[in-house]
A and B are shown apart, each in its own frame.
Chain A
Amino acid sequence: MQPLFLLGAFKFPPIDELFRWKDVVFEDTPFAINKTAILMLVSAALIIIIFVGGSRRMKMVPTGTQNVLEMTYEFVDGGITRDVVGHDATRYTPFLGSLFLFILFLNFWEVIPFIQFPPTARFAVPFYLAVQTYFIYLIVGFKNHGMKYLTGHLFPAGVPKFLYVLVTPIEFVQLFLVRPFSLAVRLLANMMAGHILLTALALLTAYSLQNAPIVSIGPFLLNIGVTGFEILVGFLQAYIFTLLTAVYIGDSLHPEH
């Protein structure tokens, strides 16, 4: 029991130290760049390089990179756009595809050694992405149905008249507040929780290695397992964000079902 008692002095650092990064260039201006911004720029550049480079000499029978790119496209186009938005909605695939890839790349920084920070764990990033989705589904809805989009949502057909007192405010809050907010918070909280969990296990391993080396096997093995789990979570959250965006766009295109 002795080694376990020694761990009682372990102190977790304040949460700010895990998420706040110092500005690298242009300090104290609105254009300040820190680790989060650098990772976002690098991800965007990586996606562009991979896609432009991979699709340069396209062949009838794909090999190597082109194979992976086509699989990604098929996954977004077949699994998300055609299934959820509608069979004639292929023109939303570029948006959904870039959204999916961008979030996927940002999430995967969480498990890349020596970087280990998902930019999506800062509220600004998922919030911006959610606001983008928000305006797109509202614009698509109003463009296709005009004011009927709003009235169709706020006064759903088949509901008894007196229940509109209850239904309309709920639908209004759901359409304009809950949707973008839950979209952003879902991504944020998942990546934040993963980052905190990985940091806690890594710190516990380092601390117990100094004070009670035998105990450190536990958090070390757990850390490896959780890293694998976080890869799954990163992929799943990118998928769910894109899927929900597709659901909202589909709802704006065909509000009846």
Chain B
Amino acid sequence: MLHSLLLAVTQLQPDLKAGLQSIGAGIAYGAAAIGPGIGIGLVVGNAIQAMARQPEMQGTIRTTMFLGIAFTEALALFGFVLFFLAKS
């Protein structure tokens, strides 16, 4: 029912579709950035703590930190791609 209502509204106002798409895309990317933002903060913060405690393990910790960042960041980047998909 919601869909048919939306369809009727979009036919009445053609600009509305583009506007809603933009809003949806913005919300999608914004929401996708929350989790990875917290996650990367945790990863880097703990890596710094580990480096401060054991400076001799710095090389290994840095490599592992980049791996952790890469895996966490991927979610935000999926959101970024979704932003372009939702907009077009």
Contact = CB atoms under 8 A, between A and B. Distances in A.
Contacts of B78: 182, 185
A189 B74 CA distance: 9
Contact of A244 (B67, B80, B81): B67
Contacts of A189: 77, 80-81
Interface in B35-88: 59-60, 63, 66-67, 69-70, 73-74, 77-78, 80-81, 84
B49 to A, nearest CB: 21
Contacts of A239: 66
Interface in B8-39: none
Size category of the B interface is 10 to 19
Interface in A56-96: 79, 83-84
A157 interface: no
A159 to B, nearest CB: 21
B2 to A, nearest CB: 30
A185 B59 CA distance: 27
Contacts of A185: 74, 77-78, 81
A231 B58 CA distance: 23
A15 B77 contact: no
Nearest to B88: A15
A199 interface: no
A34 interface: no
A243 interface: yes
Size category of the A interface is 10 to 19
Contact of B74 (A84, A186, A236, A243): A186
B63 A15 contact: no
Interface in A168-214: 182, 185-186, 188-190, 192-193
Given A186-B70, A240-B70, A243-B70, A79 B63 contact: yes
Contacts of B59: 79, 83
Contacts of A240: 66-67, 69-70
B51 to A, nearest CB: 16
B60 A243 contact: no
Given A185-B81, A189-B80, A189-B81, A84 B73 contact: no
Contact of A182 (B63, B66, B69, B74): B74
A140 interface: no
A69 B7 CA distance: 61
Given A15-B84, A240-B70, A243-B70, A84 B63 contact: yes
25 contacts: A15-B84, A79-B59, A83-B59, A83-B60, A182-B74, A185-B74, A185-B77, A185-B78, A185-B81, A186-B73, A186-B74, A186-B77, A189-B77, A189-B80, A189-B81, A236-B66, A240-B67, A240-B69, A240-B70, A243-B63, A243-B66, A243-B67, A244-B67, A244-B70, A247-B67
Given A193-B80, A244-B67, 10 more contacts: A15-B84, A83-B59, A83-B60, A182-B74, A182-B78, A186-B74, A189-B77, A189-B80, A240-B69, A247-B67
